[in-house]
A and B are shown apart, each in its own frame.
Chain A
Amino acid sequence: MRPKDLATEAANTWCPGCGNFAILNAIKPVLAVLDEEGLVAIETVVLVSGIGCHAKIADYVNANSFYTIHGRTIPVATGIKLANPDLNVICFAGDGDAYAEGLDHLIFAAKRNVDITAIIHDNRVYGLTTGQYTPTSPSGFKGRSTPSGLEVPPINPLEMVSASGGTFIARGYSHGIDLLKEIFRSAILHRGFSFVDVLQVCATFFNLYDHYNQRVYALEGHDPLDRVRAEEKMREWDYDSDGPIPLGVFYKKDAPTFGDNFEEQNPRKIDIEDAINKTLERYI
Chain B
Amino acid sequence: MMKVVEGSYGIADAVRCCSPDVISVYPITPQTHIVEHLSEFVANGKLDCEYINVESEFSSLSSLIGASAAGARTYTSTTSQGLALMFEVLFNVSGMRLPIVMTTVNRALSAPLSIWNDQQDAMAAREAGWIQIYAENVQEAMDLTPQLFKISEDPEILTPSMVCMDGFILTHVYEPVEFLDIEKVREFLPPYRPEYVLDPKDPKTFGAFADPSWFTEFRYLQYQAMERAKKKIEKVSKEFEEIFGRGYGGLIDTYSMDDAEVALVTMGSVVGTAKEAVDELRSEGVKVGLVKIRSYRPFPEEELKIALKDARVIATIEKDVSIGYESALLTDLKGAFYNSPIRAPIVGFAAGLGGRDIGIKQIRKIVEKTSRVLDAGIEAEFEIFDVKQECLQEGYHGR
Which residues of A are in contact with B by a Cβ distance under 8 Å?
51, 67, 69-71, 100-101, 103, 126, 128-130, 132-133, 135, 144-148
6 closest A-B pairs by CB: A100-B55, A147-B43, A148-B43, A129-B27, A101-B56, A145-B53
Q: A67-B113, A69-B110, A147-B39 are in contact. Are A130 and B81 (CB under 8 A)?
A: no
Q: Provide the residues of chain B in CB contact with A148, threshold 8 Å.
A: 42-43
Whole-angstrom distance between the alpha carbons of A246 and B206 in the complex? 48
Smallest CB-CB separation from A133: which chain B residue? B53
When distances are taken between beta carbons in the complex, the residues of chain A under 8 Å from B29 are: 128-129
* Chain B count of residues within 8 A CB distance of the other chain: 19
CB closest residue in chain A, given B57: A101
Contact of A145 among B36, B56, B81, B113 (CB under 8 A): B36
Shortest CB-to-CB span from A269 to chain B, Å, is 37
**What are 6 A-B contacts defined by CB distance under 8 Å?**
A69-B110, A129-B27, A132-B53, A135-B55, A145-B27, A147-B40
- The CA-CA distance from A279 to B200 in the complex, in Å, is 54
Q: What's the minimum C-beta distance from A74 to chain B, rounded to whole angstroms? A: 15
B62 at interface, CB cutoff 8 A: no
Q: Judge if B35 is at the interface, Cβ distance under 8 Å.
A: yes
Q: Say whether B32 faces chain A, with CB atoms less than 8 Å apart.
A: yes
| B28 on the A face (CB < 8 A) | yes
Which residues of chain A are near B32, meaning CB under 8 Å?
A: 129-130, 132, 144
Distance A147 CA – B44 CA, assembled complex (angstroms): 9
- Measured between alpha carbons, how far is A69 from B25 in the docked complex, in Å? 19
What does the 1/0 interface line of B28-59 toward A look like (CB < 8 Å)?
A: 11001001100110111000000001011000
A150 to B43, CA, bound (A): 11
Distance, CA A122 to CA B196, complexed state (A): 44
Q: Inside 8 A of A146's CB, which chain B residues have their CB?
A: 39, 53
Least CB distance from B47 to A in Å reads 12
User: In the complex, A126 Cα to B36 Cα: how many Å?
Assistant: 13
Give the contacts of B97-113 with A (CB-CB under 8 A): 110, 113
Residues of B in contact with A (beta carbons under 8 Å apart): 25-29, 32, 35-36, 39-40, 42-44, 53, 55-56, 81, 110, 113
Beyond the given pairs A132-B32, A132-B53, A145-B39, 5 more chain A to chain B contacts, judged by CB atoms under 8 angstroms and listed by A's residue number, are A129-B32, A144-B36, A144-B39, A145-B27, A145-B36
Residues of B with C-beta under 8 A to A129: 27-29, 32
Closest Cβ of chain A to B9, distance in Å, is: 14
Least distance between A137 CB and chain B CB atoms (Å) = 10
Contact residues in B for A71 (Cβ distance below 8 Å): 56
Known: A51-B113, A69-B81, A129-B28. Contact between A145 and B35, CB under 8 A?
A: yes
Task: Report the Cα distance A103→B32, complex, angstroms.
Answer: 21
Residue of A132, A145, A146 with most chain B CB atoms under a 10 A cut-off: A145
Nearest Cβ on chain A to B361's Cβ, whole angstroms: 31
Cα of A69 to Cα of B29 in the assembled complex, Å: 14
| A152, chain B: closest CB distance, angstroms | 9
Quick one: which of B36, B43, B44, B56 contacts A100, CB cutoff 8 A? B56
Rounded to whole angstroms, the CA-CA distance of A130 and B35 in the bound complex is: 13
Establish whether residues A132 and B27, one from each chain, have CB atoms under 8 Å apart when the complex forms: yes
Closest chain B residue, CB of each to CB of A55: B113
Q: Which residues of B contact A126 (CB under 8 A)?
A: 27
**Residue in A closest to B39 when the chains form the complex, CB atoms:** A145
Contacts of B42 in A (CB 8 A): 148
- A101 partner residues in chain B, CB cutoff 8 A: 26, 55-56
Give B300 Cβ to nearest chain A Cβ, in Å.
34
Interface centre among B35, B39, B40, B53 (most CB of A within 10 A): B53
**Which residues of A are found within 8 Å of B36, using beta-carbon distances?**
132, 144-145
Q: A135 to chain B: which residues have CB within 8 Å? A: 55
Contact B55 A103 (CB under 8 A): yes
Chain B residues with CB under 8 Å of A51's CB are: 81, 113
Q: How far is the CB of B49 from chain A (nearest CB, A)?
A: 14
- Closest A residue by C-beta to B41: A147
By the criterion CB–CB under 8 Å, are B53 and A70 in contact?
Answer: no
Which chain A positions have C-beta within 8 A of B26? 101
Nearest Cβ on chain B to A103's Cβ, whole angstroms: 7
* Residues of chain A with a CB closer than 8 A to B27's CB: 126, 129, 132, 144-145
> Is B81 in contact with A70, judged by CB distance below 8 angstroms?
yes
CB distance from B271 to the nearest CB of A (A): 29
A147 to B29, CA, bound (A): 19
| Bound CA span A71–B36, Å | 21
**Shortest distance in angstroms between B23's beta carbon and chain A's nearest beta carbon?**
11
Docked CA distance A39–B336 (Å): 64
Shortest Cβ gap from B86 to chain A (Å): 13
Chain A minimum-CB-distance residue to B32: A129
Tell me, in angstroms, the Cα distance from A146 to B42 when the chains sit together.
10
State in angstroms the CA–CA spacing of A51 and B44 once bound together. Answer: 31
Name the distance in Å between B382's Cβ and chain A's nearest Cβ. 28
